[in-house]
Chains A and B, each alone.
Chain A
Amino acid sequence: MNPLVPQPDTLPAAWTLIQGLLLLVFPLHLLAMNSLLGTAAVVLWLRRRGGQLDLALAPRLSAMLPVLMALTVNLGVASLLFSQTLHGQFFYPAAILMGRFWLAVIPLLIMAYAGIYLLKRRAPRPRPRVTLVMTGIVLLWLTVAFIFTNNQTMMLNLPRWVDYFKTDGGTLLNLADATLWPRYLHFMIAALAVGGLITALTGRYLTERDPRLGAYAERLGLRLFGRVTLLQIGVGMVFLWRLPQSIRWQMLGGSMAATVLLMMAVGLALAILACASQRLTILCAGLLVTQVFVMSGLREMVRHASLTGQMRLSDMPLAWQNGALLFFVLMLLAGVATIGWLIRQALQPAAAAEEQEQPSKQSRALRS
């Protein structure tokens, strides 16, 4: 065991349970983050194309960004919470080694978040300025993602930790790690693919109201989604090849579970390509969600394989917190039910809502 790895604190529930919670929320965070970054990139692309339909579609996609940002942050909080519970002894040193960059994530996100709200509020601005702001926002998110990739690889790169003895001001990054760039590219290309899918889904939604724009968005989104997924298969292979040999072999037959997950991921990618070519948008979305869950499972396996010898689950102290766990489960159920009700209200057509509670003439006057 590396002496620089701190002693883990007592787990409040079995490892597998917390790991299960992490595997539930992290893929959702990834989906939200990919939708956010990918949609923003598509908006930027549409603005640069500058066609009539492109410029009509861009604001509709931009309007989703604030909600996607809020969900990305929220689901990221849950992921980080469960991840710190499981891997805190690796996470904290890695974050401290790159402290300046890690803390910079907050102002960068605030700037990007404020930017998308300002764009939404003042939509009728000159086009070059909107494009410039959107470029800035996308660059900020790309930077944040790069910092996160550094953090997540630094957690696993224990030999890099000794550089702390040369510099302790939080200025280290994990740039020499062979997996850093392929992993970063893998995530960013995934975001672009999801951006394409979100565009296609938006097109599907718009079809009834504006058939021409809807069809254009769906066609454009699926084309982007398919092409980028094809590229992703190549990048994924490079990523696999850059992993340490012992870990790579686990996915190529050494470990049954890892091999099955990798095969599933490849199979799903091929199925996604086929669906995209046949314009089966909803099926594409279903397959993509499954794919993200499968890839998240594979990612956890890579993490554990990377930390072999540094983390023995049997040695980790455990003291069940049954009451607190029950409280969380009840809150989660109540929360999901409440959110379900809220979303129903949001999606309910105005006419249907008014039928249930007849508004008076006075209330119409107040709103006019």
Chain B
Amino acid sequence: MNYPVWYLPAIGGGTLIAIIAVTHVFISHFAVGGGLWLVLLETHAWRRQDKALYQFIRRFARFFVFVTLVLGALTGVGIWFVISLVQPAGTSALIHRFVFIWAAEWVLFLVEIVAITVYLHTFDRLPARRHLTIGRVYCTASWLSLFVINGIITFMLTPSAAAPTSIADSFFNPTFWPSLLLRTCLAGLLSGLFVSAAAAFWTDRDLAGRLTRITASWSLLALCGALPAGYWYLRSLPAPVQSLVEGASPTIVRTLAVGRWAVLALVIGLLLAVWRPARIGKPVALAGLATGLVLMGSFEWTREAARRPFVLHGSMFSNGLRVDRATADPFLPDIPWSRATSAGRELFKFQCYACHTLGGVNNDIIKRTRGMDEATLAAYISQLHAIRPFMPPFMGSDEERRALATYLTGLQPRPAIPASNLLQSGSLP
């Protein structure tokens, strides 16, 4: 670990990554599926000579460009910014391994921008077939963008069955195809929810009802595809990761429970939308969209948590330390960015802070260590990885381990001293 740590102990870097990443993933999947909806609906409008639908598409395209370019593109850059700040070692390793793959994804991103901009501005100017071809160019580029980035994301979780020897091995890793299928289905589902939400705000209620029924049917189909794809994804994970997802990690268990409720709510909502589309007003459509966000958040959170104790599976722990580093060697002398004073604080910052906060909402270490005295905590730290395999092992000497235990127990809230004791003579400083 040769990088400084951006230290926000009450918030935690992981929380920042989660907020930005979940927002981006939600919108970026809409960006992939939404383009397909534009082309399909426009084709439908041309074939049926449906003027009302055509007007809707024109408005929806504006909304689509606004959401995907303003929020989607910039939160995508935001993920990169925040992981550079929170996980610089992992980000640098990934960038150096995949720079040309990322550069290819940048080209696709540029094609997407140009295609959707031209599409938006040529509704009245180009013949239908040409305009639809431009829409298809956007769809292809956006799905290929997902294809490319999927290789990098899945590499972080499952680098390869064997040690990867080439970029192709790293890219087409064991979870590449199931993840791609799952994400494609999720893109279909989420974009359908977005179209439904836009339809709910449309004044032509007849058209809104028709759109709701079509999008709900396809979203339901996408959800039905996502479930077996998710199962395939799970089965493709290495055994230790599977066991984490199946119950060894309390965080994942809670997150998956939320995800299951979201799936159930979506199934009920989508069935209702197919059966009685007129009942889907603005509140229900927005609730559906929010449920989609919860589902996506649950999936991403699970994927991130399942990668623990690694940021790059098998090579780098989630705190940025290399796996091959000797665990018992003194730690702080090797860390040029650590301060000479307060060893316990520095050990927390460089080894625990990547996942834990101090008094924050996410994974508060003060709560986690409540009730432990120094000796118990020091002993627990020495067995950390053995007891909780999803946590990296403590790296450092015995003296440093005790210093960390002293620091953490020192943060515990002190028991209240009865007022009568304070009033006794000699009790005040």
Contact = CB atoms under 8 A, between A and B. Distances in A.
Interface in B1-53: 2-8, 16, 20, 45-46, 49-51
Nearest to B71: A110
Interface in A1-56: 3-4, 6-7, 9-13, 18, 21
A114 B70 contact: yes
Contacts of B117: 67, 70, 346
Contact of A168 (B7, B66, B101, B106): B7
Interface residues of A, number: 78
B96 A85 contact: yes
A366 B130 contact: no
Contact of A164 (B4, B16, B71, B103): B4
A102 interface: yes
Interface-centre pick from B54, B96, B134 (highest chain A CB count, 10 A)? B96
Contact of B85 (A6, A67, A170, A356): A170
Contacts of B376: none
B128 A363 contact: yes
Contacts of B118: 342-343, 345-346
A4 B74 CA distance: 31
A103 B16 contact: yes
A95 interface: yes
A366 B51 contact: yes
Nearest to B88: A92
B4 A366 contact: no
- Chain B at the A interface: mostly helix, strand, loop or mixed? helix
B95 A332 contact: no
A71 interface: yes
B361 interface: no
A89 B96 CA distance: 12
B326 to A, nearest CB: 17
Contacts, number: 218
B73 A82 contact: no
B127 A93 contact: no
A85 B8 CA distance: 27
Contacts of A99: 6, 85
Contacts of B97: 12
A358 B126 CA distance: 10
- Chain A at the B interface: mostly helix, strand, loop or mixed? helix
Contact of A102 (B8, B66, B81, B100): B81
B4 A345 contact: no
B227 interface: no
A359 to B, nearest CB: 5
Contacts of B66: 114, 117
A92 B84 contact: yes
Given A81-B106, A85-B99, A362-B49, A3 B70 contact: no
B336 A3 contact: yes
Contacts of B102: 81
Interface string B86-100: 001101110111111
A184 interface: no
Interface stretch (B107-115, B210-218, B263-271, B421-429): B107-115
Interface stretch (A187-195, A273-281, A295-303, A320-328): A320-328
Nearest to B48: A366
B226 interface: no
A359 B125 CA distance: 11
Interface string A153-168: 0000000000011001
Contacts of B101: 324, 327-328
B75 interface: yes
Listed from nearest, the 5 A-B pairs whose CB atoms lie closest are A357-B127, A6-B2, A335-B107, A99-B6, A92-B88
22 contacts: A6-B3, A7-B2, A12-B97, A13-B100, A73-B74, A77-B106, A77-B109, A82-B99, A84-B92, A93-B337, A102-B85, A103-B82, A164-B4, A168-B6, A170-B85, A321-B100, A331-B108, A342-B115, A342-B137, A348-B125, A348-B126, A365-B49
Given A102-B85, A168-B5, A345-B130, 7 more contacts: A6-B3, A74-B106, A84-B95, A102-B81, A335-B108, A338-B137, A363-B127
